[in-house]
Structure 1
Amino acid sequence: MFKGLGGLGDMAGMMKKAQEMQTRMAELQEELHNITVTGESGAGLVKAVASAKGELKSLDIDPSIFNGDDKEVVEDLILAAIKDAQSRASDRSQEEMRKLTESLGLPKDMNLPF
């Protein structure tokens, strides 16, 4: 019936693989909430910690940068640290997804929704 389709003719195998991928992706989604990355700005004066999902977890600001005249500089440093953390979170999430797709025998560059 499925002659000529090669490996695609094995529907049971495909279904098993799809279920495995769905389970592993759900597990990875949960793991990404627990993986943290740290973004920095001002040579480490401002640090932002975020989950690999991009959720901001904490902010650490060195007290030496607080000076009323430097309000805009402090705000810029805070924003830069948060953006750095979010960028690192995105990179880490993509790295974990690549690991998952490779372990399932899928192409490295396959972009699954996440």
Structure 2
Amino acid sequence: MNGMNMGKLMKQAQDMQRKMSAQQAEIDQQEFTGKAPDDLVVATFTGDRKMKDLQIKKEALDPDDPDMISDLTIAAVNDALKQIDETTKNKMGQFTQGMNIPGL
């Protein structure tokens, strides 16, 4: 009897792992677009955190303030990465609910 319960538990774990892998693959294929204020810099990432595009408006290039472009780029990149984290947490959280797994 105990072996049957363990077999059922293992099957459930394998099913959950397959679903989690499929969900992660779906997230990895999504695009996330982060924007700096006034859309002066727009960074696009895939869900697996690979930068796909970076658009910089000419208004962001101020020769009197060279640090501005860095600040705007950081803001856009961080915005996109935050979106990836939130989407991952929301979609993967259904599998880890109540498990107290750090990072999810």
TM-score range, shorter chain: 0.7 to 0.9
User: Which residue number in structure 2 is paired with residue 56 of structure 1?
Assistant: 51
Question: Would you say how many aligned residue pairs link Structure 1 and Structure 2?
Answer: 103
User: Which residue number in structure 2 is paired with residue 37 of structure 1?
Assistant: 32
Structure 2 counterpart SS, 1:85: helix
Q: How high is the sequence identity, in percent, across the aligned residues?
A: 28
Larger radius of gyration: 1
CA displacement, residues 64-90 of structure 1 (integer Å, 9 cap, x when unaligned): 222322221011101111111111111
CA 75–95 in structure 1, closer or farther in 2 if over 3 Å, else same:
same
- The 1-side partners of 2:67 and 2:77 are apart by 15
Structure 1 counterpart SS, 2:39: coil
Which 10-residue stretch deviates more, 65-74 or 81-90?
65-74
User: Which residue number in structure 1 is paired with residue 72 of structure 2?
Assistant: 77
Give 1:17 deviation, angstroms. Answer: 0.4
- RMSD across aligned C-alpha pairs, in angstroms? 2.4
Which consecutive residues of structure 1, in runs of 5 or more, have no partner in the other structure?
3-8, 102-106
Q: TM-score, normalised by structure 2?
A: 0.81
Give 1:43 deviation, angstroms. Answer: 2.1
Give, as a single letter, the amino acid of the residue that structure 2 aligns with 1:42.
P
1:19 counterpart = 2:14: yes
